[in-house]
Amino acid sequence: MIERTLVLIKPDGVQRGLVGEIIKRFEGVGLKIVGIKMTWINEMFAEKHYSDIKERRGERVFNALMELITMGPVIAMVLEGVDAVEIVRKICGPTEPRTAPPGTIRGDYAHVSFHYSDEVNQAVRNVVHASGTKEEAKNEIALWFIPEELHHYPSVHDIHILHQKTEHIRAMRGK
């Protein structure tokens, strides 16, 4: 199933100059960027993005996330591809960088633990946010992008994932 999902390169990733490396990982597996922008969000917008966190994880975690996401510019992207939500989560790795395996974004570019972040009273600096479910992706994309900012275009990867394109190429080659 071709899906769309939201990825944020958080201010810590932008400030560290990791934007290109992170985008390269998603494009390298064939995910297509259908929307991208840099923005510096305010607290009102951050509250909308993290609306469920205060209730689920408490005010201390909520406040720490608010401070992190508003401390600098964010790169917001909508990626499209087969099972995009699951694939993006796999590429990012677990939320806690300490437990993220090498080869994942968080495993390669962050190392702190929940315990350390709690001790210094700050959100875990884990470089990226990725939608956790298809429903969350749908809601987050609608929050971060208006429809006119999302684009449909063919990419070279489409011939590898779309049966119609493959059949068309075979027909063109006479096979």
- Phi and psi of 145, rounded to 5°? -135, 140
Identified catalytic residue from 129, 151, 157, 163? 129
The phi and psi torsions of 35 (rounded to 5 degrees) equal -165, 140
Q: Is 157 a catalytic residue?
A: no
Which token pair is 102? 């090498």
93-31-71 Cα angle (round to 5): 55
In order of 32, 56, 69, 87, 131, the CA distances from 82 in angstroms are: 10, 30, 28, 8, 15
Enumerate the active-site residues.
Answer: 129
